[in-house]
């Protein structure tokens, strides 16, 4: 009986450690960037070129979408599935906020290179 209780306790602790490890790994995969929102080449696609790295991101946003031509700061996770947007690295945005300090040019719907 003691052996059974020990085995169950060990499995429970191992599962908890694995869950913590997975959560830590996910945090390292987060993308945090800022830039001006532009229309993508494909219809209804939004892209942002990060001001720090110059990397282009394709934004996948659920809910309220940022407007083309505004500056934003966003956090998200890389998206590994296929998308209709053919530019940049796809990111599933988990949060974004407007950033007026970026002084984005009026893009008139033109895409970012």
pLDDT in tens, 36-95: 999 999 999 999 999 999 999 999 999 999 999 999 999 999 999 899 999 999 999 999
According to the model, what pLDDT value does residue 104 have? 93
Coil, strand or helix: which one is 43? Answer: coil
Greatest Cα pair distance, the chain, in angstroms, is 72
According to the model, what pLDDT value does residue 6 have? 47
Which domains are seen in the chain, by residue range? Answer: 31-102 (2.40.50.140)
Helix, strand, coil shares of the chain, percent, nearest 5, are 25, 35, 40
Please report, to the nearest 10 degrees, the dihedral formed by the alpha carbons of residues 69, 71, 73, 79 taken in order.
20
76 in Cβ contact with 31 (< 8 Å): yes
According to the model, what pLDDT value does residue 108 have? 52
């Amino acid at each position: 009986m003691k052996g059974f209780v020990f085995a169950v306790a060990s499995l429970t602790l191992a599962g908890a450690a694995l869950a913590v490890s997975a959560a830590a790994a996910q945090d390292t995969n987060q993308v945090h960037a800022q830039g001006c929102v532009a229309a993508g080449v494909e219809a209804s696609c939004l892209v942002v070129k990060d001001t720090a790295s110059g990397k282009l991101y394709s934004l996948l946003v659920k809910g309220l979408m940022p407007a083309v031509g505004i500056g934003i700061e966003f956090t998200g996770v890389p998206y590994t599935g296929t998308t209709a947007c053919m530019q940049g690295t796809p990111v599933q945005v988990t949060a974004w906020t407007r950033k007026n300090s970026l002084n984005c040019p009026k893009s008139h719907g033109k895409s970012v290179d």
